[in-house]
Amino acid sequence: MTHPQIAAFARVAKENEPPVRTIEGHNTKLSRTMHGFSYDPIHDEIVVNSPITQAILTFRGGINGEEPPIRVIQGPKTAILGAATGALNTVTADPDFNEIFLPVGTGLRNAGTGGVEGVYVFNRLDNGDVAPKRILTGPDTQIDSPTPQAAVDPSRKLLVVKSGGALLIFNREANGNTKPLRVIKGPKTGGFGGGQIAVYPEKGYILTNSRDDWAVWHIDDNGDIAPRWKIPTRGLGRQNAGIAIIPKYKEIMIASSNANKVVTFYFPEMFE
């Protein structure tokens, strides 16, 4: 049986190379159906969502083995509710503004939990049964997906939410039933798959998967806009696909559970 685990590998690790360390075991409180986590390089912390236990877990960056989280956001005041569809399967840390963004999908509504879909925002140092400081939710937001994804551009103070076949761009402090500033959507985009999104603030680029490949848009784009670049990833599959940007080496790492692998692309054009 496979147990919930986060594994850390060397950046240049190749096929069948073992991890250099892992986060696993009962004391970590990790659960299945977590499909993405976030690293905070300013405070050297790892932020992980735990859908089954309806919690947000924060670990120290150098964790190895069965070590408990240093903070746990969990309880009825948090309004975090789980659902069988993985309605909250990723989380995003914003270390520049000391906040944590948790996108919550319509799986809650469909599961009859009474939960509210949207983007929940907590303070980075929140611990225990703490209410969100704000929730971006409502029909005007256009957030309407079983598993929305979110990423933050702290330099431009913007929030990008992928939901309902669109990239929705908000002010990062948007709250309540707020309309997006811009919407990237339409046939020229190629559509969007179910994978995660990432923002490269230095250039204002948004990276996420289209129907067939991964692709790059700019955060100032609006309407039916074709991507600036496409990254050929056909054959990897789209389910639970993750992405990481490594500017120092001009690389992009893409993970796919369908192919059970992580692939590294050298992509200097995006960093120039």
Residue range(s) defining the domain that contains residue 89: 5-9+18-184
Higher pLDDT, 237 or 23: 23
pLDDT of residue 86: 56
User: Does 258 map to a domain?
Assistant: no
User: Does 155 map to a domain?
Assistant: yes
Residue 258 has pLDDT above 80, yes or no: no
pLDDT-derived band at 112 (thresholds 50, 70, 90) equals very low
Burial class (CB in 10 A: 0-12, 13-18, 19+), 154: middle
Residue 97 backbone class (left: φ over 0; alpha: ψ -120 to 50; beta: rest)? alpha
User: Does 25 map to a domain?
Assistant: yes
User: Does 167 map to a domain?
Assistant: yes
Average pLDDT over residues 50-66: 88
User: Does 223 map to a domain?
Assistant: no
Average pLDDT over residues 230-249: 76
CA angle 29, 16, 11 (to 5 degrees): 75
Average pLDDT over residues 231-240: 66
Q: How far apart are CA 238 and CA 244, in angstroms?
A: 15
User: Does 230 map to a domain?
Assistant: no
pLDDT-derived band at 111 (thresholds 50, 70, 90) equals very low
pLDDT of residue 115: 62
pLDDT-derived band at 196 (thresholds 50, 70, 90) equals confident
User: Does 98 map to a domain?
Assistant: yes
Q: How far apart are CA 159 and CA 117, in angstroms?
A: 16
Residue 249 backbone class (left: φ over 0; alpha: ψ -120 to 50; beta: rest)? alpha
pLDDT of residue 108: 54
Instruction: Please give the tally of structural domains in the chain.
Output: 1
Spatial contact of 150 and 101, defined as CB atoms under 8 Å apart: yes
CATH number assigned to the domain comprising residue 163: 2.120.10.30
Note the pLDDT tens digit of each residue in 154-181: 999 999 999 988 999 999 999 999 999 9
Higher pLDDT, 77 or 28: 77
User: Does 252 map to a domain?
Assistant: no
pLDDT-derived band at 97 (thresholds 50, 70, 90) equals very high
